[in-house]
Amino acid sequence: MIPSRFFPGGICYFFSEEKKDKSILSENEWMIVQKYGTKRLADFCTGRYCMRKCTEQLGFSGDILIGDRGMPLLPNHITASLSHSKNLCGAIAGDKDLFLSLGLDIETCGRVHKKMWYLLFTKNEIEYLNSLDDEQQDFISTVFFSLKEAFYKLQYPLTGIFLDFPEVEIVMINNRFYVKMLRHVTSLFAEGRLIQGSILKYYDQVITYCSLPVKTKFFNTGS
Ligand SMILES: CC(C)(COP(=O)(O)OP(=O)(O)OC[C@H]1O[C@@H](n2cnc3c(N)ncnc32)[C@H](O)[C@@H]1OP(=O)(O)O)[C@@H](O)C(=O)NCCC(=O)NCCS
């Protein structure tokens, strides 16, 4: 069970460790999955199931089709995000009166191998990871990776811009994690801006999310 205090009020969430099948899809969603293989199909169905459970709480139970570059297509008043890992699938959703955007990610701990770090992490992040023991490295590298993906899912529906992993950096301030913009994307995502992320270790999974409340007070580190 995901502790409810992990998500702030106004974010609806639903997680499932049980895979769902095509029977949960609407007719239009069914059309999308015609050529999906077994794993992709199970992920898609379970993801739609979780997201529908969230959006129903916000008064929407219609089709959730696929939009630009893979983002879930939702009615204008809802922001939502989903993620599937090997053992867990989940979704979060909120009303756009409260949140400009949300991004969720789930990763299995220990799968961000050291040989991939140079593609994913900045010099500062790698220096920090190298200062940790093996167990901490497995955990924190997964956290860094997952926060970047959660942030990507938050920012893409607002900007329509692809961002690569080294274009943002995870920084820790007073035991809190932030995604720091290393380039100027839009005025909302200006260089140096910090967007807070939250992390939860759930058995061997790492769950992360980023949220942009409408009333966000941004602060910058300077670039
Ligand atoms: C899109 C991406 C983040 C998805 O992450 P993933 O670990 O592969 O897969 P997850 O299961 O966690 O998430 C998949 C879900 O993300 C959502 N998603 C996909 N593309 C998206 C986008 N452009 N914007 C928002 N959400 C998106 C979808 O709902 C998808 O599930 P579905 O296809 O069943 O609907 C990843 O594949 C990717 O392209 N990453 C590169 C960009 C990046 O992460 N940059 C980091 C620095 S900002």
Show the domain range for 140: 4-218
Mean pLDDT of the chain: 96
Q: How far is the CA of 103 from the centre of ligand 1 (A)?
A: 9
pTM of the model: 0.97
Q: Letter for the amino acid at 219?
A: F
Per-residue pLDDT at 216:
77
Residue at 211 is within a domain: yes
Residue that the structure tokens 């809802």 belong to: 78
- CATH no. for residue 43? 3.90.470.20
Q: Which of 219, 200, 209 is nearest to 79 (CA)?
A: 209
Task: Take atom 28 of ligand 1 and give the residue whose Cα is closest.
Answer: 71
Residue at 182 is within a domain: yes
Q: Is the separation of the CB atoms in 51 and 64 below 8 Å?
A: yes
Residue at 223 is within a domain: no
Task: Take atom 12 of ligand 1 and give the residue whose Cα is closest.
Answer: 83
Residue at 202 is within a domain: yes
Q: Is the separation of the CB atoms in 147 and 178 below 8 Å?
A: no
Secondary structure (H, E, C), 182-198 = CCCCCCCCCCCEEEEEE
Q: How far lies 86's CA from each of 75, 206, 207, 222, in Å?
A: 29, 12, 13, 38
Q: How far is the CA of 126 from the centre of ligand 1 (A)?
A: 23
Interval 40-63: pLDDT, tens: 999 999 999 999 999 999 999 999
Q: Which atom of ligand 1 is nearest to the CA of 179?
A: 48
**Token pair for 114:** 């050291």
Task: Take atom 2 of ligand 1 and give the residue whose Cα is closest.
Answer: 149
**Token pair for 59:** 């008064």
Residue at 64 is within a domain: yes
Q: Which of 13, 177, 188 is nearest to 100 (CA)?
A: 188
Per-residue pLDDT at 215:
85
Residue 223 pLDDT exceeds 70: no
Ligand 1 contact via 178 beta carbon (within 6 Å): no
Residue 221 pLDDT exceeds 70: no
Per-residue pLDDT at 59:
97
Q: How many domains does the chain have?
A: 1
Q: Letter for the amino acid at 27?
A: E
CB atoms within 10 A of CB 194: 18
Residue at 161 is within a domain: yes
164 or 2, greater pLDDT: 164
Which DSSP state fits 167? G
Q: Is the separation of the CB atoms in 179 and 148 below 8 Å?
A: yes
Interval 176-220: pLDDT, tens: 999 999 999 999 999 999 999 999 999 999 999 999 999 876 667
Per-residue pLDDT at 63:
98
* Segment 80-98 mean pLDDT: 97
Residue at 168 is within a domain: yes
